[in-house]
Structure 1
Amino acid sequence: MSSEGAPDGNFIASAGPLTVNLGGKGKVEDHMAAATELHFKSAAELARMIQSREISSRELLEHFIARTVLHNPKINAIVASDFDAAREKALAADEALARGEVWGPLHGLPMTIKDAYEVKGLTSTGGSPEYEDHVPERSAAPVERIEKAGANIFGKTNVPFLSGDLQTFNDVYGTTNNPWNLACGPGGSSGGSAAALAAGLTGLEIGSDIGGSIRTPAHLCGVFGHKSTFGIIPKRGHISPPPGHLAEGDLSVAGPLGRSAEDLDLLLSIVAGPDEIASEGWKLDLAPARATSPKNLRVAVWIDDPFCDIDTESAALLNNAAKALEDAGAKVDWSARPDFTLEWSNEVYLTLLHSITASRFPETVKQRLSDMRAKLPADDRSHLSLQARGANISYADRLVWHEHQARLKAAWVDFFRDYDVVLAPMLMRPAFPHDQQSNWHKRRIAVNGKEREYFDVLIWAGPAMVAHLPASVAPVGLTSEGLPVGVQIIGPHFGDRTTIAVAGMLEELLGGFRAPPGF
């Protein structure tokens, strides 16, 4: 976390856990008076403005710094920074552009990075007190690609402890609030990323997703997010696992967040591709979108399911999104389903997920789950049962579950012969109040006036996750309480361009990103 000196005449302001230095004289508002709406433009548009010299990189950086000073104390989204270094890079970007040099598609664009990713020279904690003083000497793989594309990284955004929750809080930086309702969380684990984008504090973000960690915050904060096809973006330098680890898991992925579908496509093009080891033997060549307008699009709608009740207002907004595509010419099937149940997909997903997440549990917790597993009835399919079984799974048993996973993938292949995308919920409801009980099994989440287990927040994250499919989230409207709702757009394996294209269609039809009141 930076603590910057104050030259004479500079304005110093406290912004939650980070200390910022606003270069130049005057009040915060003075820095924003000339371009009030800059902060809500898409990253793609801001990048074009810099390269066409409508605005300088330094001016845009100061604008976002001013926004951070003014609004970050309310939401605590940006938690570490180095504005002095960012100012030097912004000046260098402007000087390079004056010489006719363009560093890349993100030339001079100010942006932040989820604190799960290591950024060279910036404190990178992963939300863990153990890494509170960790300042990497090398950036994570996707961050290196972002830097090479010319971006100017000025800060880090908050995460849960080791990115292991659907709410964003930790003992290093505290709690991040949702810009739409400060009493609610922004989702997790890319909660700081989505909150900063929604509040207009940053130009672009990259998240990671193993349990909806890109898609859920995008849904809850009213921005766009994309969970990439598994394996197309290397994650070396992501915390967890601990810093220095090279092996990657078999579910988690990286992916972009932004204020437009175009932003998702832009950043995906920059960060996707083989890692250093594989780059000698293969290259990524994603297929173009299956459809570029609703008239050529085949849509399946999977919004209602007996296994997971959806908030009625959210369901209405999701159905309205499907109807908008249908009215625009898309072929929409309101009853199509892949050849498996949501319940079965969820069991396969959670068993594999818990086998991964339990690897970092203390031995005492692992033993308690092992003791619990021995006492469980064979037909118990509760979340606690799935966690206990997954946490203690043998290698031989895990191979059996990998076969179940392969069969789910095969069922999706058959399904996507007839459909281009599936529209589904991301979560059963819009933003919900903070609940920071350490025991997830004691937490509850209300849906249509009834309490559900907190682990149910993972249900709709599962189908795309366990089958390694791409899935984009696009905002589709607000509830009567003024909370955003996003639709999940699931596509075929390597169909990332297709799901992002459909997010763009919905953006055009329904208006896309909206700014939260007061920001």
Structure 2
Amino acid sequence: MSADVTVATPARAQAAAVRAKEISARELLDLHLERIALRNPRLNAIVSLDEDRARAGAEAADRALASGAEPGPLHGLPFAFKDTHAVAGWRTTYGSPLFAEHVPDTDDLLVERVRAAGAVTIGKTNVPEFAAGSHTFNRVFGTTLNPHDPTRSAGGSSGGAACALAAGMVPLADGSDMGGSLRNPASFCGVVGLRPSWGRVPEWPSANMWETTATGGPMARTVDDLALLLSVLAGPDPRAPHALGDPGSAFGAPVVPAPLTGLRVGLSTDLGGAFAVDRSVRAVVEAAGTALTGAGAAVTGEIPDLTGADECFRTLRAWHFQARFGLQLAVHPTEFKASLAANIRAGESLTGADVAVAYQRRTTLAQRMREYFTDHDVLVLPVSQVPPFPADREFPDTVDGMPMDSYLDWMRSAYLITVTGCPAVSVPFGSTPEGLPVGVQIVARHGADRYLLEVAAAVETLAKSASRMAV
């Protein structure tokens, strides 16, 4: 075993060590299982863990490498899939009592790609019920806690994934994002999460292949590792007609940070009053602006016009939820958490005209963003409007003194970007006075995912420098 490889080693380096036979897949798995045994009982990030099958998978990976088989980019890396992604032969509950014992027969496309890349499946990561909400709890497995402060939320809906990453239980993690489910938990747990351009990570199977608000995507501890996983998840597939045509390999090379000198940045803490923001989050975003300016970027307060984005998102979410879960709710009215049931029922009164207007608004928003990015390179704003809140709450009651009436109200900083179709990444940049992580959200034009990662890598380096100076 290589003494240099630990669970904190970057995923790209872990994979390289396995390929070079400096460490076996079995030994790497044992390192992670030790960490899981140490931290998961308290944090509850990984569910449906199967150590025996994981060890069998690691042994198979070692035999394949010994036989001379060409290893994939994730060969030998332990991997726990989000519990909303079907993994053939593995319990997949979607965080719902209705699927508590569900075992799929086939892999989702995302899972298929990760497995084909050589990852070793170890289990699943915890989610809210049907991935609804940015706090991870359900009646099947309970609540996932923040690795930096176990009294706090790990975010959601990819909260189990973000927590497991931050705690060193896995080197990479997959997730999905409708209203911020890759970005919010990344901010809460101090890791990196990318909501890719719509169409970058195709989905199959899908109840509605024309639905355009949700997407799968990668999470990692560094931007470079994020690119490694994106290279596996991205790329066209004949089963997903709206997939972007760039091959996943376009993201496989190590990420070189973009120059910050002359970078044209629009920065806002609240998108012109579109949402309330906690003071500690506002301070981190402002600090990012100061640091970017100091590094030579041209930072202004110019923001895109996102009028209508709130109504657009809420209409499309309710329409999607009602179509997907309406019949189940009618048959099992007590098997859904109240906030999700209300969101489903909100779709019952929608008309065809309501949905048409939502799509017209989305078309307008996409055009406005296209125009905005003709004279701006990126937009920087909060990921989440609050830092990690107490884990015994479903959602924060207030934000900066403003009441939050539903589990969606405090997520505007993320979901307003969702309906633009643009890629957005959460990068850790600072912390609250209590030491809780806070990320900044960086947005680029649709299709510019590689460029966004290059800017994110530069911001990541800048954040580390700013942290050292603060100390």
**TM-score tier after normalising by the smaller chain length:** 0.7 to 0.9
1:470 paired to 2:432: no
Distance (Å, rounded) in 2 between the aligned partners of 1:409 and 1:247 = 19
**Match status 1:396 vs 2:396:** no
Q: State yes or no: 1:292 paired with 2:254.
A: no
CA–CA separation in structure 1 for the residues paired with 2:221 and 2:281? 20
**Residue deviations 1:83-135 (CA, integer Å, cap 9, x gap):** 22221221232233334433211111112110100112211111112222222
**1:2-41 → structure 2 map (5 Å cutoff):** 38-41=6-9
Q: Are the counterparts in 1 of residues 200 and 244 from structure 2 also a CA contact under 8 Å? A: no
CA distance in 1: counterparts of 2:4 and 2:393, whole angstroms: 36
Q: Which residue of 2 aligns with 1:358?
A: 322
Amino acid at match of 2:273: P
1:345 and 2:309 are equivalent in the alignment: yes
Alpha-carbon spacing, 1:340–1:278, altered in 2? closer, same or farther (3 Å): closer
Report the equivalent of 1:517.
none
What CA distance in whole angstroms lies between the structure 2 residues aligned with 1:80 and 1:509?
Answer: 38
Rounded to whole Å, the distance in 2 between the matches of 1:70 and 1:281 is 40
Partner amino acid, structure 2, of 1:197: L
Matched, 1:310 2:277: yes
Counterpart residue number, 2:215: 253
The structure-2 alpha-carbon separation of the partners of 1:385 and 1:306, relative to structure 1 and needing over 3 Å to count, comes to farther
The within-5 A match list for 1:23-422 is: 38-237=6-205, 245=207, 247=209, 249-277=211-239, 283-284=245-246, 292-304=258-270, 305-333=272-300, 335-341=301-307, 344-360=308-324, 362=326, 390-422=347-379
How many angstroms does 1:462 deviate by?
2.0
Alpha-carbon distance change, 176 to 410 in structure 1, aligned in 2, over 3 angstroms: same
- The 1:387/1:427 distance shift into structure 2, 3 A limit, reads farther
Letter in 2 for 1:302: S
CA deviation string 1:300-335 (max 9, x = no partner): 1022332322111211111212222222222222x1
For the pair 1:430 / 2:387, whether they are aligned, the reply is yes
Answer yes or no: is the 8 Å Cα contact 1:81–1:122 preserved in 2.
Answer: no
Cα distance change, pair 500–401 in 1 and its aligned pair in 2 (3 A):
same
CA distance in 2, matches of 1:174, 1:309: 29
1: CA distance between counterparts of 2:356 and 2:457?
Answer: 38
Q: Distance in 1 between matches of 2:17 and 2:5?
A: 13
Quick check: 1:203–1:258 contact (8 Å CA) kept in 2? Answer: yes
Distance 1:227 1:124, change over 3 A: same
**Is 1:510–2:467 an aligned residue pair?**
no
| Contact 2:444/2:452, CA 8 A, preserved across alignment | yes
> Is the Cα–Cα contact under 8 Å of residues 177 and 195 in structure 1 kept in the other structure?
yes
Deviating more after overlay: 143-152 vs 301-310: 301-310
Aligned partners of 2:199 and 2:243 also within 8 Å: no
Conserved 8 A contact 1:420-1:498? no
Distance in structure 2 (CA, Å) of the matches to 1:281 and 1:311: 37
Residue type of the alignment partner of 2:409: D
Q: Distance in 1 between matches of 2:362 and 2:210?
A: 18
**Alpha-carbon separation, structure 2, partners of 1:281 and 1:213:** 20
Give the equivalent residue in structure 2 for 1:17.
none
Would the aligned equivalents of 2:136 and 2:157 in 1 still touch at CA under 8 Å?
Answer: yes
Unaligned segments of structure 1, at least 5 residues: 1-30, 367-383, 438-442, 515-519
Partner SS for 1:316: helix
1:498 matched to 2:460? The reply is no
1:445 Cα offset (Å): 2.8
Q: Distance in 2 between matches of 1:354 and 1:282?
A: 26
Whether the 8 Å contact between 1:110 and 1:154 is mirrored in structure 2 is yes
Q: In percent, how many aligned pairs have the same letter?
A: 38
- Count, aligned residues: 450
Contact 1:179/1:195, CA 8 A, preserved across alignment: yes
Tell me the CA shift for residue 436 of structure 1: 5.2
- Partners of 2:267 and 2:45 lie apart in 1 by 34
Q: Which protein is bigger by CA-based radius of gyration?
A: 1
| 1:457-513 Cα shifts (integer Å, max 9, x gaps) | 22111232111111010000111111000111111011111222222112112129x
Measured after TM superposition, the shift of residue 346 of structure 1 is 1.5
Name the amino acid aligned to 1:330.
A
